[in-house]
C-alpha cells in the first residue's frame, strides 16, 4: 500500500475537508470528505501518480455523462496544488469483489437476477449516451452492505471511451491503462475482441462482461478462469458449462434456466450476436425473481430425512424462522452456519425462501 496523499483535516479549494482515508486501487486513492457547501459527505478520489492523470480525467469526463440510479454520480472535478480531484457520491458499502470474497460462496438465482438486472440498467444508461465502460468487473461495482444488496452502482469509468471515438487514443498511455495489475484484474471479464483487436471493440464488450459477471455470481468463479490461461479460453469461444448446482436444485427452475439463457446470450464470441444493453434489460425484466428484504442468522437445528428435511434459523436479534431443505441454495447444511434469507408470514414461525449460505 502506498503512502497516503492526504490526512484528516486537509482542506481543498476551501470546500472539501478530508474526513478519513477509505481505499485505493492501482490508479487512485479514495477518501471520505465533507462538502462544506452542501454539508454532505462525498467520495474524494485523487490519482496516485502522474501516469494515471489522463485516465483519471477521462473517468471524470465519461462518468459525468451518465446519469442513472445504478451509476455512481460524478459531482465535481478540479485541480488543486498540482493534483486532479474527482468528487463522487459516497456509497456506504463495498465493491462487489469484496462482497464475493468476504460474504458469498455463490448467489442464489433470485439475488443474482436482482443484481444483473440493476447492472444491465446502468450499462444501458451508459450506452444511451455513447459511453463504453470497457472495464466492467466486480471491483468496479459498488454494493450496499445489506444482505439483499439494495444499492448497486457502477463506477470507475477509467478507460471508458465514447463509442464513436477511435479506440487507439485510449491506449497511447499504455503504462496507466494496460499495466499488469489492471490487465490481470480485468482479464476474466474481457470479451474476445478486447484481447484480439482492442481498436475494434465497442459496446458489445460491456455485454460480454455482464455475462461473465453473472456466471461468476451463480457459479462462484469466472467462466474461463483467471490469469493468462483465461485469455486462451476466451478467444476460442468455447461455452462454459452450467454450474452443477443447477441440477441439484431443480426447485429454482425456471429462473436458473432464464439466467443461463442470459449468460449464453452475453458470452457469444461474435460481438454482433450479443444482445444490446436495452435488449438485455428487457430479458431481465422478464425474470421472475423475488426482491424481498433479506436478513441474516444462523442455522439453529436441522431435522428430518430425504425431501422432508427442515430446520430453524436463529434470526440475528429477532427470534426464529422455519426453513425447508428445498429452499436452501447450497450443498451441505450444518448447524451454526451463517445464512441470509427472505422471510414471509407463517404459523407458528415465519417461513423463509431462499436460504443462502454465507462464508464464516
All 3 cell numbers of residue 279? 435488449
Distance CA 258, CA 99 (A): 24
Q: What is the DSSP string of 131-154?
A: EE----SGGGEEEESSTT---EEE
DSSP E strand stretches across 226-287: none
Query: What's phi and psi for 139, nearest 5 deg?
Result: -70, -15
CA distances to 9, 55, 176, 260, 354 from 49, rounded to whole Å, are 22, 11, 9, 42, 46
∠ CA 223-227-231, rounded to 5°: 65
Question: Does 76 participate in catalysis according to the annotation?
Answer: no
Within its chain, how far is the Cα of 195 from the centroid? 22
Closest of 213, 95, 221, 218 to residue 151, by C-alpha: 95
All cell numbers assigned to 10: 486537509
Catalytic residue among 35, 103, 108, 135: 135
Sole residue written with cell 484481447? 195
CA angle, 296 then 301 then 302, to 5°: 105
Cross-strand partners of 315: 297
Active site residues: 135
Amino acid at each position: 500500500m502506498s503512502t497516503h496523499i492526504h490526512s484528516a483535516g486537509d482542506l481543498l479549494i476551501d470546500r472539501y475537508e478530508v474526513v478519513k482515508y477509505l481505499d485505493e486501487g492501482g490508479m487512485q486513492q479514495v477518501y471520505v470528505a465533507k462538502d462544506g457547501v452542501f454539508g454532505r459527505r462525498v467520495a474524494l478520489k485523487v490519482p496516485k501518480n502522474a501516469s494515471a492523470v489522463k485516465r483519471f480525467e477521462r473517468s471524470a469526463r465519461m462518468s459525468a455523462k451518465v446519469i442513472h440510479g445504478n451509476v455512481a454520480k460524478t459531482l465535481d472535478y478540479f485541480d488543486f496544488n498540482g493534483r486532479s480531484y474527482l468528487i463522487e457520491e459516497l456509497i456506504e458499502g463495498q465493491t462487489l469483489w469484496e462482497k464475493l470474497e468476504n460474504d458469498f460462496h455463490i448467489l442464489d438465482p433470485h439475488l443474482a437476477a436482482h443484481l444483473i438486472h440493476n447492472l444491465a440498467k446502468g450499462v444501458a444508461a451508459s450506452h444511451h449516451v455513447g459511453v463504453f465502460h470497457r472495464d466492467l468487473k466486480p471491483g468496479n461495482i459498488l454494493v450496499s452492505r445489506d444482505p439483499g444488496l439494495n444499492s448497486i452502482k457502477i463506477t470507475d469509468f477509467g478507460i471508458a471511451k465514447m463509442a464513436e471515438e477511435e479506440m487507439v487514443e485510449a491506449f497511447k498511455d499504455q503504462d496507466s491503462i494496460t499495466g499488469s495489475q489492471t490487465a490481470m484484474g480485468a482479464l476474466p471479464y474481457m470479451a474476445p475482441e478486447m484481447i484480439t483487436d482492442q481498436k475494434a471493440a465497442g459496446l458489445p464488450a460491456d455485454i460480454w462482461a455482464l455475462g461473465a459477471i453473472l456466471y461468476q455470481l451463480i457459479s462462484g468463479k469466472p467462466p474461463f478462469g483467471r490469469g493468462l490461461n483465461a485469455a486462451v479460453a476466451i478467444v476460442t469461444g468455447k461455452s462454459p458449462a452450467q454450474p452443477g448446482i443447477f441440477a441439484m436444485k431443480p426447485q429454482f427452475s425456471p429462473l436458473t434456466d432464464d439466467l443461463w439463457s442470459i449468460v449464453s446470450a452475453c458470452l457469444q464470441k461474435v460481438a454482433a450476436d450479443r444482445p444490446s444493453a436495452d435488449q438485455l434489460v428487457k430479458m431481465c425484466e422478464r425474470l421472475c425473481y423475488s426482491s424481498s428484504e433479506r436478513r441474516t442468522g444462523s442455522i439453529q437445528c436441522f431435522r428430518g430425512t430425504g425431501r422432508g428435511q427442515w430446520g430453524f434459523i436463529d434470526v440475528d436479534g429477532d427470534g426464529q424462522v422455519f426453513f425447508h431443505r428445498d429452499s436452501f441454495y447450497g450443498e451441505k447444511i450444518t448447524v451454526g452456519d451463517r445464512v441470509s434469507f427472505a422471510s414471509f408470514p407463517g404459523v407458528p414461525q415465519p417461513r423463509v425462501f431462499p436460504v443462502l449460505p454465507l462464508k464464516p
